[in-house]
Structure 1
Amino acid sequence: METALYIAFFIFGTIIGSFLNVLIYRLPRGRSPLKPAFSFCPECGKNIKWYDNIPVISYLILKGKCRNCGAKISLRYFVVELITGIASVLSYMKTGLSVEYIFIFIFLSLMIAITFIDLDFRIIPDELNLFGFLAGFVFIFFRKDFSLLDGILGAVVGAGFLWAVAFLYMRFRGIEGLGMGDVKMMAFVGVYTGWFGALFTIFVGSFLGALVGGLSAYLLKAEDKGRFEIPFGPFLAFASVVYIFFGETVKSWYLGGMM
C-alpha cells in the first residue's frame, strides 16, 4: 500500500511538473499560462498530442525530439517533471496524508519554477512570489506551532534584511547587486519559515552563491570578478528547501546552543 502511494504521489508530481514547464516557458515571456490551454512545440508551433505529452514517459519515448518537426526538446522539460515528481514524494514522506502536504508541495513546486526561470532570464515573476506569499498565510491557519505573528515577522525580516543589503550595495557601489524579485521571494519564504528560517535561507543561500560565483568567475576567468553576475534565486530556493525539511532540527540545535 505504501509503495502504491509513493507511485501515486510521484505521478501526481510529474503532472504538476508538466504545468511548471508551462509556467517556466510562458511567464517570463509575458504569456498567459492558461491560454492557449494546449501545449505546442516552440519550433514548429504545432499542437502536441496528448499521447506525446505524458510527463517523463513521452520525453523518453520521443528521445527528446518533437514528433512533428524533429526539433530537439530541451532536457529541462524532463528534469523539471522528474524533480517535481520527487518533490511530491518527499512532501508526502514529510507530512503524510494531510493538508500540510498541499502547502509543502506548493512551496517546493514554486521553488522549482523560480529556480529555472531565474537561471534562464535572471528574473523572478511577481505572480509566483505573490501566490507563494498568499499560500503561506493560508498555511498558517493549519499549523499548530506557528502563529500569524511568526509569519508576518518572517516576511518582514526576510524581505527587510535583503532589501537593506540591496540598498546598501547600490548606495556604496553604484550598481544593482540584488533584484527586487529576490526581496519579494524572501517575503514569501519568510511567511513559510518564520524569522529564523528567513535568516537561515539568506545566509546559507549567500554562502552558496558566493562559493559558486567565485569558483565560476575563476574558471571562466571573468575580467571583473567583483561584477560577475549569477542569479541569486536558485541559491535562496535551495537553502529554503533545506530549511523546510531540516529547519526545526537546525533551529533547536542553534537556539539550544545559545542558551
Structure 2
Amino acid sequence: MLLVLLVAVVGVAVGSFLNVVVHRVPRGESIVAPPSACPGCGHAIRPRDNVPVLSWILLRGRCRDCGARISGRYPLVEAGTGLLFVAVLLVVGVSWALPAYLYLAAIAVALALIDLEVHRLPDAIVLPSYPVALVLLGAASALGGDGSAFVRALVGAAALFALYFVLWFVRPGGMGLGDVKLAGVLGLYLGWWGWDALAVGGFLAFVVGGLVSLPLLLSGRAGRRTAIPFGPSMLVAALAALVVAAPLSSWYLSLVGLSATA
C-alpha cells in the first residue's frame, strides 16, 4: 500500500511537470526556464501555489494575484497521471521493468495531449525516448536475466517502425511521419513485453482509431479529409495491450484449437 501511495505521489508530481511540457514544447520554449507564471498577469507562481491538485482546489481555480481563471486541465492531468502510474504499477508489478513503463506512461500523457491540441508529435519528446527506452529496457533485461526480452524489443521496434513507414509511404496523408517515429518507440515496449503484446498493440491502434473517427464522421464533425490525430490511439492501444494481450491471445488460440503453450 505504501508503494502504491508513493507511486501515486510521484505520478502527480510528474503530471505537474507534464503540464509544463505540453504547454511549452509545441512552442519551442524551454521546459526549465523561466519559472511558471500566470498567463493573465505574468506574476511568477509562488511555491505554495504550485502544489499539484491541492493548490488549484485551494485557489478555487483562480490566480492569487489577478483572479484569472486557471484551466481545470492542470489538476486533471496531474491526478490522471498519478492514477496512470498506479495502474502501470499494478500491471507491471515491482520489477526492474517498472521504471521503463512508468516513463512510457509519462510520455504517453504528454504526446497524447500535444497531438490532440496541435496535431503533432514533437521530435523533442519522441526521439529522446529511443535511447531512454533502450537503456531502461536493456537494464531490465540484464538485471532480470532475460536477454531474449531485449531482442524482442529490438525486433518489435524495427517491425512496427517498418509497418508504419510503409503505410506512410503508400499514403502520406493517412498518417504523419511523427506516427512512424512513435511506432518504433512503442515497438520497443510492446516487443519487450511479448510477441502477443506486439501483435495486439499494433492491431488495436487501428481499432481504437476507427472507434474514434467513426462517430466524428457520422456526426459531421469531421470529413474524409479532416486530419484526426492518430498518436493518442497508438498510445492508448499500446498501454491497453499490456493488459489485454495475454487473455486475447489465449482466447484466439483456443478458438482455433491451439493452446498458448503449443
TM-score range, shorter chain: 0.7 to 0.9
Distance 1:40 1:226, change over 3 A: same
Q: Which of 81, 87, 91 is residue 90 of structure 1 equivalent to?
A: 87
Whether the 8 Å CA contact 2:164–2:180 is kept in 1: the answer is yes
User: Cα distance, 1:62 vs. partner?
Assistant: 1.4
Whether the 8 Å CA contact 1:190–1:197 is kept in 2: the answer is no
SS in 1 for 2:216: helix
Q: Over residues 70-112 of structure 1, what are the superposed CA-to-partner deviations in whole Å (9 max), with x where a residue is unaligned?
A: 2222222111101111122122223444432211111111101
In structure 2, C-alpha distance between the alignment counterparts of 1:51 and 1:62, rounded to whole Å: 11
Structure 1 segments unaligned to the other structure (5+ residues): 171-175
In structure 2, C-alpha distance between the alignment counterparts of 1:221 and 1:63, rounded to whole Å: 33
Residue type of the partner of 1:217? Answer: L
In structure 2, C-alpha distance between the alignment counterparts of 1:146 and 1:247, rounded to whole Å: 19
In structure 2, C-alpha distance between the alignment counterparts of 1:219 and 1:146, rounded to whole Å: 47
Coordinate RMSD, CA, aligned: 2.1
Residue type of the partner of 2:81? Answer: T
2:37: which partner in 1? 40
Distance 1:71 1:253, change over 3 A: same
In structure 1, C-alpha distance between the alignment counterparts of 2:197 and 2:147, rounded to whole Å: 14
What is the total number of aligned residue pairs between the two structures? 249
In structure 2, C-alpha distance between the alignment counterparts of 1:131 and 1:96, rounded to whole Å: 25
User: Cα distance, 1:199 vs. partner?
Assistant: 4.0
Whether the 8 Å CA contact 2:62–2:69 is kept in 1: the answer is yes
Residue type of the partner of 2:102? Answer: F
In structure 2, C-alpha distance between the alignment counterparts of 1:63 and 1:125, rounded to whole Å: 33
Distance 1:35 1:251, change over 3 A: farther
TM-score normalised by length of structure 2: 0.87
User: Cα distance, 1:249 vs. partner?
Assistant: 3.6
Whether the 8 Å CA contact 1:140–1:151 is kept in 2: the answer is no
Residue type of the partner of 1:152? Answer: L
In structure 2, C-alpha distance between the alignment counterparts of 1:196 and 1:69, rounded to whole Å: 53
Q: Over residues 133-156 of structure 1, what are the superposed CA-to-partner deviations in whole Å (9 max), with x where a residue is unaligned?
A: 223212133133743321221111
Q: Which moved more, 1:66-75 or 1:109-118?
A: 66-75
Whether the 8 Å CA contact 2:201–2:245 is kept in 1: the answer is no
User: Cα distance, 1:196 vs. partner?
Assistant: 4.8
Structure 2 segments unaligned to the other structure (5+ residues): none
Distance 1:116 1:257, change over 3 A: same
In structure 2, C-alpha distance between the alignment counterparts of 1:242 and 1:142, rounded to whole Å: 21
2:168: which partner in 1? 166
Residue type of the partner of 2:58? Answer: I
Whether the 8 Å CA contact 1:151–1:192 is kept in 2: the answer is yes
1:124: which partner in 2? 121
Which of structure 1's runs of 4+ aligned residues deviate more than 6 A?
none
In structure 1, C-alpha distance between the alignment counterparts of 2:219 and 2:161, rounded to whole Å: 32
In structure 2, C-alpha distance between the alignment counterparts of 1:121 and 1:94, rounded to whole Å: 31
2:152: which partner in 1? 150
User: Cα distance, 1:248 vs. partner?
Assistant: 3.6
Is structure 2 residue 211 aligned with structure 1 residue 211?
yes
Residue type of the partner of 1:131? Answer: P
